[in-house]
Amino acid sequence: MGASLLAMRPHPAADGQNLRIAAAHLKLATLSTSSRRDVDYRLLDARLKQLMTKPTMVGLAVGVVENGRITFLQGYGETLAGSGDPVTPETVFRWASCSKGVAATMVAKLAEQGKIDLNAPVVNYAPDLKLPAGNEHKASVGDLLSHRLGLYRNAYDNKLEEGQDPSFLRASLSQLNPTCAPGTCWSYQNVAYDASSEMVSRITHMPYEQAVKRTLFNPIGMSSGSVSLSGLEESRSWARPHSVGKRPLPMTDIYYKVPGAGGINSNIKDMALWMEAQMGEMPDVVDGKVLDTIHAPYVVTPTERGRLRKFLERLRTAWYGYGWRSYDYAGHHIIGHRGGINGYRSLILFDPEKKSGVVALWNSNTSQPGGLEFEVMDMIYHLPFRDWLELSKGPNQSIATTDAEPENGGGDRP
Protein backbone atom coordinates (compact mmCIF):
# COMPACT_ATOMS: atom_id res chain seq x y z
CA MET A 1 0.00 0.00 0.00
CA GLY A 2 2.91 2.34 0.72
CA ALA A 3 4.21 1.74 -2.78
CA SER A 4 0.75 2.46 -4.11
CA LEU A 5 0.79 5.87 -2.47
CA LEU A 6 4.02 6.74 -4.23
CA ALA A 7 2.48 5.69 -7.53
CA MET A 8 -0.45 8.11 -7.22
CA ARG A 9 -0.35 11.18 -9.41
CA PRO A 10 -3.24 13.46 -8.40
CA HIS A 11 -3.60 17.08 -9.51
CA PRO A 12 -0.52 19.01 -8.22
CA ALA A 13 -2.64 21.35 -6.10
CA ALA A 14 -4.11 18.38 -4.21
CA ASP A 15 -0.99 16.19 -4.11
CA GLY A 16 0.09 16.75 -0.53
CA GLN A 17 -3.41 16.69 0.94
CA ASN A 18 -4.41 13.51 -0.90
CA LEU A 19 -1.26 11.70 0.15
CA ARG A 20 -1.82 12.66 3.79
CA ILE A 21 -5.45 11.51 3.67
CA ALA A 22 -4.57 8.26 1.89
CA ALA A 23 -1.81 7.57 4.41
CA ALA A 24 -4.35 7.94 7.21
CA HIS A 25 -6.39 5.20 5.53
CA LEU A 26 -3.56 2.65 5.43
CA LYS A 27 -5.02 0.83 8.42
CA LEU A 28 -8.37 0.49 6.63
CA ALA A 29 -6.61 -1.07 3.63
CA THR A 30 -5.03 -3.89 5.61
CA LEU A 31 -6.66 -7.24 6.27
CA SER A 32 -7.99 -7.46 9.83
CA THR A 33 -8.75 -10.91 11.15
CA SER A 34 -9.47 -9.45 14.60
CA SER A 35 -12.57 -7.70 13.22
CA ARG A 36 -14.16 -10.98 12.19
CA ARG A 37 -17.35 -11.50 14.16
CA ASP A 38 -20.24 -12.98 12.20
CA VAL A 39 -19.12 -14.48 8.89
CA ASP A 40 -18.01 -18.12 8.75
CA TYR A 41 -14.98 -17.65 6.51
CA ARG A 42 -14.15 -21.32 6.28
CA LEU A 43 -17.66 -22.02 4.98
CA LEU A 44 -17.53 -18.98 2.69
CA ASP A 45 -14.26 -20.11 1.13
CA ALA A 46 -15.59 -23.64 0.65
CA ARG A 47 -18.74 -22.29 -1.00
CA LEU A 48 -16.72 -20.12 -3.36
CA LYS A 49 -14.41 -22.99 -4.30
CA GLN A 50 -17.48 -25.07 -5.06
CA LEU A 51 -18.89 -22.22 -7.15
CA MET A 52 -15.71 -22.17 -9.21
CA THR A 53 -16.33 -25.75 -10.30
CA LYS A 54 -19.39 -24.62 -12.25
CA PRO A 55 -18.83 -24.69 -16.02
CA THR A 56 -19.79 -21.03 -16.41
CA MET A 57 -17.14 -19.66 -14.03
CA VAL A 58 -13.70 -18.40 -15.13
CA GLY A 59 -12.38 -15.99 -12.49
CA LEU A 60 -13.78 -14.42 -9.32
CA ALA A 61 -12.57 -11.99 -6.66
CA VAL A 62 -14.41 -11.49 -3.36
CA GLY A 63 -13.95 -9.06 -0.48
CA VAL A 64 -15.77 -8.90 2.86
CA VAL A 65 -15.84 -6.04 5.35
CA GLU A 66 -16.95 -6.53 8.95
CA ASN A 67 -17.19 -3.78 11.54
CA GLY A 68 -15.64 -1.29 9.15
CA ARG A 69 -12.51 -3.34 8.41
CA ILE A 70 -11.55 -5.59 5.50
CA THR A 71 -11.69 -9.14 6.82
CA PHE A 72 -11.49 -11.25 3.65
CA LEU A 73 -9.87 -10.79 0.23
CA GLN A 74 -9.53 -13.74 -2.10
CA GLY A 75 -9.19 -14.50 -5.79
CA TYR A 76 -10.36 -17.71 -7.49
CA GLY A 77 -9.93 -19.13 -10.97
CA GLU A 78 -8.16 -17.54 -13.91
CA THR A 79 -7.88 -14.16 -15.62
CA LEU A 80 -8.18 -15.97 -18.97
CA ALA A 81 -9.72 -19.40 -19.37
CA GLY A 82 -7.04 -22.07 -19.78
CA SER A 83 -4.15 -19.65 -19.20
CA GLY A 84 -3.20 -20.74 -15.70
CA ASP A 85 -2.88 -17.05 -14.77
CA PRO A 86 -4.54 -16.82 -11.35
CA VAL A 87 -7.01 -14.21 -10.16
CA THR A 88 -5.65 -12.54 -7.01
CA PRO A 89 -6.89 -9.64 -4.86
CA GLU A 90 -4.75 -7.42 -7.13
CA THR A 91 -6.49 -8.48 -10.38
CA VAL A 92 -8.41 -5.62 -12.00
CA PHE A 93 -11.97 -6.10 -13.30
CA ARG A 94 -14.67 -3.80 -14.68
CA TRP A 95 -17.34 -2.50 -12.30
CA ALA A 96 -20.00 -1.90 -14.96
CA SER A 97 -23.08 -0.26 -13.36
CA CYS A 98 -21.53 -0.18 -9.90
CA SER A 99 -19.83 2.85 -11.48
CA LYS A 100 -23.05 4.83 -11.05
CA GLY A 101 -22.41 5.18 -7.32
CA VAL A 102 -19.10 6.89 -8.10
CA ALA A 103 -20.75 9.46 -10.37
CA ALA A 104 -23.47 10.12 -7.80
CA THR A 105 -20.90 10.57 -5.04
CA MET A 106 -18.96 13.04 -7.20
CA VAL A 107 -22.08 15.09 -7.98
CA ALA A 108 -23.22 15.06 -4.35
CA LYS A 109 -19.79 16.27 -3.19
CA LEU A 110 -19.97 19.13 -5.69
CA ALA A 111 -23.44 19.92 -4.38
CA GLU A 112 -22.11 20.00 -0.83
CA GLN A 113 -19.51 22.51 -2.00
CA GLY A 114 -22.28 24.71 -3.41
CA LYS A 115 -21.29 24.08 -7.04
CA ILE A 116 -24.41 22.10 -7.98
CA ASP A 117 -28.02 22.42 -6.82
CA LEU A 118 -29.51 18.92 -6.82
CA ASN A 119 -33.00 20.40 -7.12
CA ALA A 120 -32.15 22.66 -10.05
CA PRO A 121 -32.96 21.76 -13.68
CA VAL A 122 -30.47 19.34 -15.14
CA VAL A 123 -29.98 21.58 -18.18
CA ASN A 124 -28.18 24.09 -15.94
CA TYR A 125 -25.21 21.74 -15.59
CA ALA A 126 -25.43 19.31 -18.54
CA PRO A 127 -26.49 21.28 -21.62
CA ASP A 128 -25.86 18.28 -23.90
CA LEU A 129 -28.85 16.48 -22.35
CA LYS A 130 -32.11 17.17 -24.18
CA LEU A 131 -35.27 15.43 -23.03
CA PRO A 132 -38.70 14.97 -24.64
CA ALA A 133 -41.02 17.98 -24.50
CA GLY A 134 -38.22 20.20 -23.22
CA ASN A 135 -38.21 18.30 -19.93
CA GLU A 136 -34.53 19.06 -19.37
CA HIS A 137 -35.86 22.33 -17.95
CA LYS A 138 -38.15 20.45 -15.55
CA ALA A 139 -36.12 17.37 -14.55
CA SER A 140 -33.75 18.03 -11.66
CA VAL A 141 -30.20 16.80 -11.15
CA GLY A 142 -31.67 14.49 -8.51
CA ASP A 143 -34.12 13.09 -11.07
CA LEU A 144 -31.17 12.27 -13.31
CA LEU A 145 -29.27 10.46 -10.56
CA SER A 146 -32.36 8.48 -9.54
CA HIS A 147 -33.48 7.50 -13.07
CA ARG A 148 -36.67 9.61 -13.04
CA LEU A 149 -36.32 11.46 -16.34
CA GLY A 150 -39.48 10.20 -18.07
CA LEU A 151 -37.62 8.06 -20.63
CA TYR A 152 -38.20 4.45 -21.60
CA ARG A 153 -35.75 1.95 -20.11
CA ASN A 154 -32.18 2.12 -21.43
CA ALA A 155 -33.06 4.73 -24.01
CA TYR A 156 -30.60 4.66 -26.92
CA ASP A 157 -28.28 2.04 -25.43
CA ASN A 158 -28.67 0.20 -28.72
CA LYS A 159 -27.42 3.25 -30.64
CA LEU A 160 -24.51 3.62 -28.22
CA GLU A 161 -23.56 0.01 -28.90
CA GLU A 162 -23.68 0.73 -32.63
CA GLY A 163 -20.89 3.24 -32.06
CA GLN A 164 -22.81 6.52 -32.03
CA ASP A 165 -21.42 9.43 -30.03
CA PRO A 166 -22.93 9.62 -26.52
CA SER A 167 -23.10 13.43 -26.51
CA PHE A 168 -25.05 13.33 -29.78
CA LEU A 169 -27.32 10.64 -28.35
CA ARG A 170 -28.04 12.67 -25.21
CA ALA A 171 -29.10 15.57 -27.42
CA SER A 172 -31.22 13.22 -29.56
CA LEU A 173 -33.27 12.00 -26.59
CA SER A 174 -35.51 15.02 -27.22
CA GLN A 175 -36.95 13.17 -30.22
CA LEU A 176 -38.58 10.53 -28.02
CA ASN A 177 -42.03 10.59 -26.48
CA PRO A 178 -42.03 11.08 -22.70
CA THR A 179 -43.24 8.11 -20.66
CA CYS A 180 -44.19 10.30 -17.69
CA ALA A 181 -43.48 13.70 -16.19
CA PRO A 182 -39.95 13.95 -14.73
CA GLY A 183 -39.79 12.83 -11.14
CA THR A 184 -42.97 10.73 -11.32
CA CYS A 185 -41.77 7.35 -12.60
CA TRP A 186 -38.59 5.28 -12.54
CA SER A 187 -36.78 3.80 -15.55
CA TYR A 188 -33.13 2.72 -15.64
CA GLN A 189 -30.76 4.67 -17.93
CA ASN A 190 -27.17 4.68 -19.17
CA VAL A 191 -26.86 7.24 -21.97
CA ALA A 192 -28.89 9.84 -20.07
CA TYR A 193 -27.31 8.98 -16.72
CA ASP A 194 -23.88 9.82 -18.10
CA ALA A 195 -24.87 13.47 -18.12
CA SER A 196 -23.50 13.15 -14.58
CA SER A 197 -19.94 12.82 -15.92
CA GLU A 198 -20.55 15.83 -18.17
CA MET A 199 -21.53 17.83 -15.07
CA VAL A 200 -18.43 16.78 -13.18
CA SER A 201 -16.10 17.65 -16.07
CA ARG A 202 -17.70 21.05 -16.69
CA ILE A 203 -17.61 22.08 -13.05
CA THR A 204 -14.15 20.76 -12.19
CA HIS A 205 -12.62 21.81 -15.53
CA MET A 206 -10.89 18.48 -15.92
CA PRO A 207 -11.60 15.11 -17.55
CA TYR A 208 -13.97 12.91 -15.59
CA GLU A 209 -11.30 10.29 -14.82
CA GLN A 210 -8.92 12.93 -13.49
CA ALA A 211 -11.64 14.46 -11.33
CA VAL A 212 -12.63 11.06 -9.90
CA LYS A 213 -9.04 10.13 -9.12
CA ARG A 214 -8.26 13.47 -7.53
CA THR A 215 -11.47 13.72 -5.49
CA LEU A 216 -12.16 10.09 -4.54
CA PHE A 217 -9.77 7.36 -5.60
CA ASN A 218 -6.45 8.90 -4.59
CA PRO A 219 -7.50 10.09 -1.11
CA ILE A 220 -9.31 6.79 -0.45
CA GLY A 221 -6.15 4.92 -1.48
CA MET A 222 -7.62 3.16 -4.53
CA SER A 223 -4.38 2.87 -6.50
CA SER A 224 -5.81 0.45 -9.07
CA GLY A 225 -8.90 2.54 -9.83
CA SER A 226 -9.25 3.85 -13.38
CA VAL A 227 -11.94 4.99 -15.82
CA SER A 228 -10.73 3.85 -19.23
CA LEU A 229 -9.97 0.81 -21.37
CA SER A 230 -6.27 1.64 -21.26
CA GLY A 231 -6.47 1.83 -17.48
CA LEU A 232 -7.73 -1.75 -17.44
CA GLU A 233 -5.34 -3.18 -20.02
CA GLU A 234 -2.27 -1.50 -18.52
CA SER A 235 -2.86 -3.14 -15.15
CA ARG A 236 -0.28 -5.71 -14.09
CA SER A 237 -3.05 -8.29 -13.66
CA TRP A 238 -6.45 -7.87 -15.32
CA ALA A 239 -9.32 -10.21 -16.04
CA ARG A 240 -10.40 -10.87 -19.64
CA PRO A 241 -14.13 -11.06 -20.46
CA HIS A 242 -15.85 -14.38 -21.22
CA SER A 243 -19.19 -15.72 -22.34
CA VAL A 244 -21.24 -18.10 -20.19
CA GLY A 245 -19.52 -20.86 -22.13
CA LYS A 246 -16.05 -19.61 -21.10
CA ARG A 247 -15.36 -18.29 -24.60
CA PRO A 248 -13.09 -15.21 -24.49
CA LEU A 249 -14.87 -12.09 -25.73
CA PRO A 250 -13.39 -9.08 -27.54
CA MET A 251 -12.66 -6.00 -25.49
CA THR A 252 -14.75 -2.93 -26.34
CA ASP A 253 -14.68 0.66 -25.14
CA ILE A 254 -18.40 1.29 -25.65
CA TYR A 255 -19.34 1.87 -22.03
CA TYR A 256 -16.13 3.69 -21.22
CA LYS A 257 -17.66 6.39 -23.42
CA VAL A 258 -20.36 6.84 -20.76
CA PRO A 259 -18.02 6.64 -17.74
CA GLY A 260 -20.54 7.87 -15.20
CA ALA A 261 -22.78 4.95 -16.10
CA GLY A 262 -20.29 2.12 -16.49
CA GLY A 263 -16.62 3.09 -16.80
CA ILE A 264 -14.89 2.20 -13.51
CA ASN A 265 -12.17 -0.47 -13.11
CA SER A 266 -10.37 -1.67 -9.99
CA ASN A 267 -9.18 -4.70 -8.10
CA ILE A 268 -11.28 -6.22 -5.32
CA LYS A 269 -9.17 -4.66 -2.55
CA ASP A 270 -9.91 -1.18 -3.84
CA MET A 271 -13.58 -2.01 -4.26
CA ALA A 272 -13.60 -3.06 -0.59
CA LEU A 273 -11.97 0.27 0.28
CA TRP A 274 -14.69 2.03 -1.71
CA MET A 275 -17.29 0.15 0.31
CA GLU A 276 -15.61 1.24 3.55
CA ALA A 277 -15.84 4.86 2.37
CA GLN A 278 -19.53 4.35 1.58
CA MET A 279 -20.02 2.97 5.10
CA GLY A 280 -18.80 6.26 6.52
CA GLU A 281 -15.32 5.10 7.51
CA MET A 282 -13.60 7.90 5.54
CA PRO A 283 -15.49 11.11 6.40
CA ASP A 284 -12.49 13.17 5.29
CA VAL A 285 -13.28 11.97 1.73
CA VAL A 286 -17.03 11.19 1.78
CA ASP A 287 -18.83 12.66 4.76
CA GLY A 288 -22.11 11.68 6.35
CA LYS A 289 -24.11 14.41 4.63
CA VAL A 290 -23.07 13.16 1.18
CA LEU A 291 -23.81 9.56 2.16
CA ASP A 292 -27.25 10.47 3.49
CA THR A 293 -27.99 12.26 0.22
CA ILE A 294 -26.98 9.47 -2.16
CA HIS A 295 -28.22 6.50 -0.09
CA ALA A 296 -31.68 7.90 0.67
CA PRO A 297 -34.58 5.78 -0.68
CA TYR A 298 -36.08 8.25 -3.17
CA VAL A 299 -38.23 5.94 -5.28
CA VAL A 300 -39.74 2.48 -4.77
CA THR A 301 -38.73 -0.01 -7.50
CA PRO A 302 -41.16 -2.94 -7.35
CA THR A 303 -39.72 -4.51 -10.51
CA GLU A 304 -36.50 -5.08 -8.56
CA ARG A 305 -38.34 -7.40 -6.20
CA GLY A 306 -39.65 -9.29 -9.20
CA ARG A 307 -36.17 -9.70 -10.61
CA LEU A 308 -34.87 -10.92 -7.24
CA ARG A 309 -37.91 -13.05 -6.54
CA LYS A 310 -35.98 -16.06 -5.32
CA PHE A 311 -34.99 -13.97 -2.26
CA LEU A 312 -38.50 -12.78 -1.38
CA GLU A 313 -38.51 -14.90 1.76
CA ARG A 314 -36.35 -12.12 3.23
CA LEU A 315 -36.29 -9.32 0.66
CA ARG A 316 -39.07 -6.80 1.06
CA THR A 317 -39.22 -3.23 -0.25
CA ALA A 318 -36.63 -2.14 -2.83
CA TRP A 319 -35.74 1.51 -3.53
CA TYR A 320 -33.38 3.56 -5.70
CA GLY A 321 -31.43 6.54 -4.41
CA TYR A 322 -28.73 8.49 -6.26
CA GLY A 323 -26.69 5.81 -8.02
CA TRP A 324 -27.46 3.29 -5.27
CA ARG A 325 -30.14 0.71 -4.57
CA SER A 326 -31.40 -0.05 -1.08
CA TYR A 327 -33.53 -2.83 0.38
CA ASP A 328 -35.40 -3.97 3.43
CA TYR A 329 -33.81 -7.37 3.97
CA ALA A 330 -35.15 -9.35 6.92
CA GLY A 331 -35.87 -6.06 8.70
CA HIS A 332 -32.44 -4.53 7.99
CA HIS A 333 -31.75 -1.57 5.68
CA ILE A 334 -29.01 -2.52 3.24
CA ILE A 335 -27.42 -0.61 0.35
CA GLY A 336 -25.79 -1.81 -2.83
CA HIS A 337 -25.73 -2.14 -6.59
CA ARG A 338 -24.92 -4.68 -9.27
CA GLY A 339 -23.41 -4.32 -12.70
CA GLY A 340 -22.91 -6.20 -15.92
CA ILE A 341 -21.01 -5.49 -19.12
CA ASN A 342 -20.56 -8.23 -21.71
CA GLY A 343 -18.06 -10.60 -20.10
CA TYR A 344 -18.03 -9.00 -16.63
CA ARG A 345 -20.29 -8.88 -13.58
CA SER A 346 -20.02 -7.06 -10.24
CA LEU A 347 -21.83 -6.53 -6.95
CA ILE A 348 -21.58 -4.49 -3.77
CA LEU A 349 -23.94 -4.83 -0.79
CA PHE A 350 -23.57 -3.60 2.79
CA ASP A 351 -25.30 -2.67 6.03
CA PRO A 352 -24.24 0.91 6.88
CA GLU A 353 -25.15 0.51 10.56
CA LYS A 354 -23.21 -2.70 11.11
CA LYS A 355 -20.50 -1.49 8.69
CA SER A 356 -20.40 -4.95 7.18
CA GLY A 357 -20.86 -6.14 3.62
CA VAL A 358 -19.48 -7.88 0.55
CA VAL A 359 -18.05 -6.99 -2.87
CA ALA A 360 -17.43 -9.36 -5.79
CA LEU A 361 -16.10 -9.13 -9.34
CA TRP A 362 -16.08 -11.90 -11.96
CA ASN A 363 -15.25 -12.23 -15.65
CA SER A 364 -18.03 -14.17 -17.33
CA ASN A 365 -21.66 -13.52 -18.16
CA THR A 366 -23.07 -15.93 -15.59
CA SER A 367 -25.37 -14.49 -12.94
CA GLN A 368 -24.99 -17.35 -10.45
CA PRO A 369 -22.52 -15.58 -8.11
CA GLY A 370 -25.21 -12.98 -7.42
CA GLY A 371 -26.56 -15.16 -4.61
CA LEU A 372 -23.29 -14.62 -2.75
CA GLU A 373 -24.33 -11.22 -1.44
CA PHE A 374 -27.32 -12.62 0.41
CA GLU A 375 -25.42 -15.64 1.75
CA VAL A 376 -22.92 -13.22 3.32
CA MET A 377 -25.67 -10.97 4.69
CA ASP A 378 -27.39 -14.03 6.18
CA MET A 379 -24.17 -14.85 8.03
CA ILE A 380 -23.88 -11.26 9.24
CA TYR A 381 -27.46 -11.38 10.57
CA HIS A 382 -27.19 -14.98 11.88
CA LEU A 383 -30.12 -16.07 9.75
CA PRO A 384 -30.75 -19.72 8.84
CA PHE A 385 -28.66 -20.88 5.87
CA ARG A 386 -30.19 -20.74 2.41
CA ASP A 387 -28.47 -22.00 -0.74
CA TRP A 388 -28.80 -18.63 -2.49
CA LEU A 389 -25.88 -19.57 -4.76
CA GLU A 390 -27.91 -22.62 -5.78
CA LEU A 391 -24.81 -24.80 -5.73
CA SER A 392 -26.91 -27.88 -5.03
CA LYS A 393 -29.12 -27.33 -8.08
CA GLY A 394 -28.61 -28.19 -11.71
CA PRO A 395 -28.63 -25.51 -14.44
CA ASN A 396 -32.33 -26.04 -15.12
CA GLN A 397 -33.41 -25.93 -11.47
CA SER A 398 -32.72 -22.28 -10.65
CA ILE A 399 -35.69 -20.41 -9.20
CA ALA A 400 -34.68 -17.20 -10.98
CA THR A 401 -31.49 -15.57 -12.15
CA THR A 402 -29.86 -12.83 -10.11
CA ASP A 403 -28.80 -10.71 -13.02
CA ALA A 404 -26.64 -7.64 -12.79
CA GLU A 405 -29.25 -5.07 -13.75
CA PRO A 406 -32.58 -5.50 -15.53
CA GLU A 407 -31.25 -4.18 -18.85
CA ASN A 408 -28.42 -6.67 -19.22
CA GLY A 409 -29.44 -9.76 -21.10
CA GLY A 410 -26.50 -10.92 -23.17
CA GLY A 411 -25.57 -7.51 -24.50
CA ASP A 412 -22.85 -5.08 -23.54
CA ARG A 413 -24.94 -3.09 -21.12
CA PRO A 414 -23.95 -2.01 -17.59
Q: How confident is the model at residue 4 (pLDDT cuts 50, 70, 90)?
A: very low
The percent of residues above 70 in pLDDT, for the chain, comes to 92
Q: Is the pLDDT of residue 413 over 90?
A: no
Q: Mean pLDDT over residues 102-121, rounded?
A: 98
Say whether pLDDT at 248 is over 80: yes
pLDDT for the residue numbered 133: 98
Burial 110-132 (b: 16+ CB within 10 A, else e): bbeeeebebeebbbebbebbbbb
Note the pLDDT of residue 277. 98
Give tens-digit pLDDT for 363-397. Answer: 999 999 999 999 999 999 999 999 999 999 876 65
Among 255, 315, 261, residue whose Cα is nearest residue 147: 261
Rounded mean pLDDT of the chain? Answer: 93
For residue 180, the model assigns a pLDDT of: 97
pLDDT at 22: 81
pLDDT tens sequence across 327-352: 999 999 999 999 999 999 999 999 99
Separation between Cα atoms, residue 86 and residue 71, nearest integer Å: 21
CA distance 49 to 44: 9
The fraction of the chain above a pLDDT of 90, given in percent, is: 88
- Average pLDDT estimate for 77-89: 98
Average pLDDT over residues 206-217: 98
Q: What is the pLDDT of residue 19?
A: 79
| pLDDT score for 5 | 40
